Amino acid sequence: MRVVVVGSGIAGAATAHQLSRRGAEVVVIDAGLTGAATAAGAGIVSPWTARADRNLAFAMAAGEYYRTLVEELAEDGRDDSSFEVVGGLVVRSDTAELREVRERLQTRAEASPAAGVVELLDPGEAREFFPPLAAELAAVHVSGAGRVDGRRLRAALLGAARNRGAQVCEGRVELDVDGGRVRGVHLAGERIGADAVVVAAGAWSAALLEPLGVSLGVVPQRGQITHLDLPGTGTRTWPVVLPPSGHYLLAFPESRVVVGATRETGSGFDHRVTASGQREVLEHALTVAPGLAEATLVETRVGFRPATADGLPLLGALAEHPQVSVVSGFGPAGLTIGPYAAQLVARQILGEQVGDELAPYPPERAG
């Protein structure tokens, strides 16, 4: 079976990898558009600490699956996924609230072993894990929380797909529709035929399906996220920090701390770092971790989350055009759930039974 995958962010790269592993002939094509979410995403992989229970079972399955993904990549010649389990700190100044958090996360950890061990830390203990933290903040520590560098994971997935025979191309494509049926795509005037087409074009996915008269419920939500450097500080093992505001901090080797992020619904594809966005991100970060005040501001990245109205992804084949499958709508959680969702859709395309796991996410629903 020949499959064209449109888009090679986490969604497209993971789908291409899974299809290639299962023997499909894959062509993955990306336009290299400015503001791809995967290149900006923070990289927190901690579904267990989500505030709401919505979609939790699927997200926790995705958290478990990361361990398998790393093994699959290694089997395909890539041991550079960048995924690392570093633990997470849910921080609060109110200890009664923290006890509730611990109970909730404990229940989740019982259902999903990859969450690891859940324990309460007093402020001094929390600062041992993340030294710049505000003195009044205690924490619940979740040992299984992870982090990933979206750019490196994408490169590893595409490399692994290539090692399995996939072709990786550049360019902006449109669907090739003939007699009401999708036959492949057009790339720079050339027709690339396919038995199936995967739309994994992130926040741009809706535009691709317009010629079919399908109105996909996905829009760009801008996120601004800032990278700081703490010269001479070993940050590799620092955990993810999750305050109540929905903002967050996480660290990467060697001395990098990433703080974010804005969630700007209605932004359109306006790819700018704004004064208020920068202020919002830094204000929250320095309130939670005043010890970052002297860090060097390295860069602010901007990405467009592929957002849906109901906050759930868009997954699987179109009803009227079963040769077209969607892997999109991941919003703020694509680095976590994208790989798991991608392998389910890849299996569905190849005719495998995937149970009812994709049932809650029909791509044409009014979100």
Ligand X SMILES: Cc1cc2nc3c(=O)[nH]c(=O)nc-3n(C[C@H](O)[C@H](O)[C@H](O)COP(=O)(O)OP(=O)(O)OC[C@H]3O[C@@H](n4cnc5c(N)ncnc54)[C@H](O)[C@@H]3O)c2cc1C
In the complex, the residues that contact ligand X under the rule CB under 6 A are 6-12, 29-33, 36-38, 40-44, 150, 172-173, 200-204, 208, 223, 225, 260-261, 303, 305-306, 328, 330-336, 338
Q: Choose between 43 and 316: whose C-beta lies nearer to ligand X.
A: 43
Q: In this complex, which beta carbon is closest to ligand X, that of residue 37 or of residue 93? A: 37
321 close to 194: Cβ distance less than 8 angstroms: no
Q: Are 247 and 261 in contact (CB under 8 A)?
A: yes
Region class of 202: left (phi > 0), else alpha (psi between -120 and 50), else beta: left
What letter would DSSP give residue 366?
A: -
Identity of the residue, 56 or 120, whose beta carbon is nearer to ligand X in the bound complex: 56
Q: Is the dihedral of CA 345, 349, 350, 354 positive or negative?
A: positive
Q: For residue 351, give both structure tokens.
A: 């005719």
CB of 301 to ligand X, least distance (A): 7
Cβ proximity of 89 and 129 under 8 Å:
yes
Contact 209, 199 (CB under 8 A): yes
Nearer to ligand X, 41 or 159 (CB): 41
| Nearest CB to ligand X, comparing residues 37 and 216 | 37
Pairwise CA distance, residues 250 & 147, whole Å: 8
User: Least distance (Å) from ligand X to the CB of residue 99?
Assistant: 26
Would you say how long the chain is, in residues?
A: 367
If the CB atoms of residues 29 and 126 are measured against ligand X, the closer one turns out to be 29
Helix (H) or strand (E) holding 303: strand 296-307
The identity of residue 189, as a single letter, is: G
H or E element in which residue 142 lies: strand 138-142
Cβ proximity to ligand X, 104 vs 226, nearer residue: 226
Residue 320 phi, psi (nearest 5): -85, -15
Q: Which two tokens stand for residue 189?
A: 């005037």
Residue closer to ligand X (CB basis): 93 or 323: 323
Shortest Cβ 288–ligand X spacing (Å) = 16
Please report how close the Cβ of residue 297 comes to ligand X at its closest, in angstroms.
Answer: 16
Residue labelled with tokens 């700081």: 228
Q: What does the buried/exposed string (b/e) look like for 241-252 if buried means 16 or more CB atoms within 10 Å of the residue's CB?
A: bbbeeebbbbbb
Cα–Cα distances (Å) from 329 to 39, 96, 254, 361, 367, in that order, read 16, 36, 32, 10, 10
- Which residue lies nearer to ligand X by CB, 11 or 345? 11
Which has the closest alpha carbon to 3: 169, 168, 187, 195? 195
